[in-house]
Structure 1
Amino acid sequence: MKLAVIEGDGVGKEVIPAALQVLDCFDLPLEKIPLELGYGKWEKTGQAITDADLEILKNCDCILFGAVTTPADPNYKSVLLTIRRELDLYANIRPLKPIKGIKGVTGNTDFDILVVRENTEGLYSSIEEVGTDTAWSKRIITRRACERIAQVACEYAAKRANHLTIVHKSNVIKADSLFLNTCRDVAQSHNVIHNAMLVDAMAYDMVRSPEKYDVVVAPNLYGDILSDLGGALVGSLGLLPSANIGEKKAFFEPVHGSAPDIAGKGIANPIAAILSVAMLLDWLDKPEQALIVREAVEASINENIMTADLGGNSTTVQVTEFLVHYVQSHC
Structure 2
Amino acid sequence: MKNYKIAIIKGDGIGPEIVDEAVKVLDAVSAKEDFELNYEEYLMGGAAYDVKGVPLPDETVEGCLNSDAVLFGAIGGEKWDKLPRELRPESGLLRLRKELGVFANLRPTQVFDELVDASTIKPEVLKGVDLFVVRELTGGIYFGEPRAKEENRAYNTMVYTKDEIRRIAKIGFESAMKRRKNLCSVDKANVLEVSQLWRETVEEVALDYPEVSLSHMYVDNAAMQLIRNPRQFDVILTGNIFGDILSDAASMISGSIGLLASASVGGKVGLFEPIHGSAPDIAGQGISNPIATILSAAMMLRFALGEVKAADRIEKAVKNVLKDGYRTKDLSSLGAKEVCSTSEIGSIIADYVAKI
Same structural fold, with TM-score higher than 0.5 when normalized by the shorter chain = yes
Q: Tell me if 1:75 matches 2:93.
A: no
- Quote the offset at 1:102 in angstroms: 0.8
CA shift digits 1:8-60 (9 cap, x unpaired)? 11111111011000001124322211001002322444310133321222111
- Quote the offset at 1:247 in angstroms: 4.6
1:164-203 matches, within 5 Å, as 164-191=183-210, 192-203=212-223
Q: What's the % identity of the aligned pairs?
A: 36
- Where 2:243 maps in the other structure, the secondary structure is helix
Q: Tell me if 1:323 matches 2:323.
A: no
Match of 2:39 among 32, 37, 49: 32
Structure 1 contact 235–310 (Cα < 8 Å) conserved: no
Give me the CA root mean square deviation.
2.0
- Quote the offset at 1:221 in angstroms: 1.8
Q: Which residue number in structure 1 is paired with residue 131 of structure 2? A: 113
- Where 2:141 maps in the other structure, the secondary structure is coil
Q: 1:18 to 1:193 in 2, by over 3 A?
A: same
CA shift digits 1:161-217 (9 cap, x unpaired)? 221111112333332222222112212332232111111210110110011111110
Q: Tell me if 1:96 matches 2:109.
A: yes
- Quote the offset at 1:289 in angstroms: 1.6
Q: Which residue number in structure 2 is paired with residue 143 of structure 1? A: 162
User: Which piece of structure 1 moves more, 182-191 or 129-138?
Assistant: 129-138
Partner amino acid for 1:114? F
Q: Which residue number in structure 2 is paired with residue 240 of structure 1? A: 260
Structure 2 contact 100–267 (Cα < 8 Å) conserved: no
1:1-331 matches, within 5 Å, as 1-25=4-28, 26-27=30-31, 28-69=35-76, 71=81, 73-76=84-87, 78-103=91-116, 104-106=119-121, 107=123, 108-125=126-143, 128-130=147-149, 133-191=152-210, 192-283=212-303, 284-311=305-332, 312=336, 313-330=339-356
- Quote the offset at 1:125 in angstroms: 1.7
Given the two structures, how large is their TM-score scaled by the length of structure 1? 0.93
| Runs ≥4 residues deviating over 6 A | none
Q: 1:126 to 1:254 in 2, by over 3 A?
A: farther
1:270 & 1:47 partners in 2: Cα distance? 27
Structure 1 contact 305–318 (Cα < 8 Å) conserved: no
Unaligned runs of 5+ in 1: none
2:252 & 2:316 partners in 1: Cα distance? 22
Partner amino acid for 1:231? S
Q: 1:293 to 1:76 in 2, by over 3 A?
A: same
1:291 & 1:190 partners in 2: Cα distance? 26
Structure 2 contact 27–37 (Cα < 8 Å) conserved: no
1:248 & 1:260 partners in 2: Cα distance? 31
2:241 & 2:76 partners in 1: Cα distance? 19
CA shift digits 1:219-264 (9 cap, x unpaired)? 1121122112112111211111111112542111111111222222
Given the two structures, how large is their TM-score scaled by the length of structure 2? 0.87
CA shift digits 1:267-321 (9 cap, x unpaired)? 1110000011111121322222212211211122122211122235321112112
Unaligned runs of 5+ in 2: none
CA shift digits 1:73-132 (9 cap, x unpaired)? 433362222122221111111111112301132221222111111111113328644455
Q: 1:155 to 1:263 in 2, by over 3 A?
A: same
Q: What number of residue pairs does the alignment pair up? A: 330
Q: 1:131 to 1:39 in 2, by over 3 A?
A: farther
1:261 & 1:122 partners in 2: Cα distance? 33
2:157 & 2:56 partners in 1: Cα distance? 23
2:140 & 2:49 partners in 1: Cα distance? 26
2:151 & 2:284 partners in 1: Cα distance? 37
Partner amino acid for 1:7? K
Q: 1:137 to 1:154 in 2, by over 3 A?
A: same
